[in-house]
Structure 1
């Protein structure tokens, strides 16, 4: 599903990534752990096409990313990649279901089709009764589940999650990781997760350790 080879990145002369190789198989949950400054989030942003590497090659769903630029890259990202961040980044003026629908509408899909799919995801995530609520009317755990549904709306090849439980209490954090496992089992969804939480990372299929810009 994902294959990256020799990924390097420097910022103002400082080497943040020093030649990272990583692969993720379909329907696999892989967690990246390591101390702050190890390069985890930088790697995730590069793999998710939010940043570009100085060198190296990335292939997602059999598509070499270096062959895509501009609108083609944005369209590929919208269709094949989902994102879940520490802070859910929901738009406050929209309801839960509208927030979920936005990536599908950006992709040009039928509004009715996207809304039907969003309703199904809300039911799967136990939020069917909260579809019409705006973010400020939802708990932190509920907001993060809405963010997960938004990441899934276009049936992406892979979901990148950057410290998705970092803003949650321990109970909601554990529930979110159980949700990732359930989505892997029921939807065959693939996840690459950056986390500091070793206990929750242990629920993954595989743990990758990073230190000083390298996988160790």
Structure 2
């Protein structure tokens, strides 16, 4: 996955500020909802921190959006249905080397988000967000390699061609137990229902 831009921290900073303002949340309010400290959120919003995937996922959960939404480039009002590879935003987790690329056209009205992920050999990425402000459904389709994907207390071992459907409502973890990179596609939808109401169904 090439073209991981040097301006990703500043892009992320602007996007986080905009999402928080759209929701009328103060730094303190977002800190309380996400479990991420006010000082860390402030550093991210100023482009002075390179946060980990887990921290960003917790912030996204507090905002009621997906992790992919934090990297969306919404600066083009005339967004079309095609996302050229050169325009797709890529990001690398400073803690694990895990790399993700937003594949979907930014700003285009669609309920589906696609992300390509590369998990380095031996890497582990954990998300402890648990319950979210909105219901997020996710499917993982493994292109190459092997991953062990833990959802709550259940671990699934996936190989090339396998697909796992899940709801993002509990801690999850991704582990590449091999000495080769694993590459997979993530498809997400957010339907706007509150996670609490959905859990009662």
Relative to the length of structure 1, the TM-score reads 0.32
Higher relative contact order (CA 8 A, sep 6+): 1
- Max Rg structure: 1
